[in-house]
Amino acid sequence: MDARHEDSEREPGSAAPGEGTPAGAPGVTGGTPLPGPRPAHEAAPRPAPEATGPDTGAAEEDAAERPAEPESPESGPVASAASQEPTSATAAPALPEEPTSATAAPAFPEEPTSAPAGLDGTESGTTAPLGYPGEDDCPGDGVPVGLAALSLRSQIAAALALAVVAVVACAHLGMVFLHVAPSNTVTKQHGRAIDDWIYPEFEQNWKLFAPNPLQQDIAVQVRALVRTEDGTSRETGWYDLSALDGLAIDGNPLPSHTQQNELRRAWDFYLGTHDGENRGVGLRGDLSERYLRRIGVLRLHREHAGGEGAVVERLQFRSLTTDVPPPRWSDEKVSDRPVVRELPWWAVPAGDRADGLTEASTR
C-alpha cells in the first residue's frame, strides 16, 4: 500500500506515527490527541448516573471525540449511553435525586403515651389520667364545707351572731323609715325613742336632692370670756372652728365623722329650732343650745384659749354666710359680702367645764 492510500484511510485529525506535535505540546499527552476547546454552542456532556470511578473522565473524552457509530447488538445499553452525544446544546441539566435514606428528614418524636414513674404518682408504663388542673384538690362527696365543717359550739355561736346582726339591721332600717316618714301614730307615741336613735349620727338631710340645693358657705366661729390663773378676766379673739375642721380633713383619706359633720349638724340643729330673734321653738330649742355650747367649750379647751389654766366663763357664737359664686358661663349675680349672725353670750355652767368633758359627752 502506498503512502497516498494510507493517508486516505487514516482518520481525519490524527497524526501519523512519528509526525505531528512533539511530546509535551499543548493538547497532546504521550502522543495521544486530546480534544481541543469546545465551541460555545456545544454543551458539556453530563456523565451517566451509572458511571463512577477514576476512569470516568477519560471515557467521556474518548466518547466525545469518536464519531457516532450505529448501535450494535453486542454493545448493550451501557455502550449506547456512553457513546451517545447530547442532541440539544441547551438541554437543562437534570436535578439531583432526593436522598432516600441517608439524608431523610428527621421524623417528629411521638408524644409519650405514659408519664415517667415518679412524676405524676403513677407507675412506669401506665397512662396518666387526663383532667383539669386542681381537680384532685376538690373535696370529695360527703366532706362538710363552710359552717358545716365547724364544731357544734362554733355553729351555734355563728348562728347567734348572724341573728343579732340581722335584728340590728332591721331595727335600724325601721327607725330611719319612721324618722323620714310623715307624722303618724307610731312617731307620735315613740318619737323620743326614734330621735334618740337617729340623732346625731344617723340624721337624714335631703337638701342635696331638693329643687334648690344649698348654695352657701357657712363658717362658724366662737370667742370666749376666760378667767386666767391670776384671777383676771379677758376676752379672746374669734376662733374659726369651720376652718380648723377643714384643715383636719384636708389630706386625710379617712376623716372622722366628728371632723366632717359634728359642727355643721350642730349649727343646722340650732337654726332649725330657733327663730330669727334666737328664741327657742319647742322643747328641742334648749337641747340644741346646750349641744352647741358644749361643743364650743370643748373646742376652746383643745385650742388652749386664754392660755394654760384659763377657765371659760362665757362664750359667744357667730356665723359668716357667703354665697357660692356662680360659674363663669352663668349670668346669675350674687353678693360676695358675708352675712353675719351673732348669738347672745351664754354662761357656761360648772358641769360643762369639768375635766371629764369629752367629745362624746357633748352629744
Residue 71 CB partners (closer than 8 Å, separation 6+)? 79, 80
Answer with the residue of higher pLDDT: 131 or 354.
Answer: 354
How many Å is the Cα radius of gyration of the chain?
59
pTM: 0.46
pLDDT digits (tens, 9 = 90+) for 231-274: 899 999 999 999 999 999 999 898 888 888 899 989 999 999 99
Q: How is residue 138 written as a grid cell?
A: 376538690
Give the mean pLDDT of the chain.
Answer: 73
- Looking at the predicted structure, is the pLDDT value of residue 339 above 90? yes
Answer with the residue of higher pLDDT: 302 or 215.
Answer: 302
Q: What is the mean pLDDT of residues 94-106?
A: 54
The whole-angstrom separation of Cα 63 and Cα 43 is: 14
- Looking at the predicted structure, is the pLDDT value of residue 135 above 70? no
Q: What angle do CA 23, 29, 35 make, to 5 degrees?
A: 120
Q: How is residue 131 written as a grid cell?
A: 383532667
**Three-state secondary-structure class, residue 97:** coil
Q: Which pLDDT score is estimated for 159?
A: 92
- Looking at the predicted structure, is the pLDDT value of residue 90 above 80? no
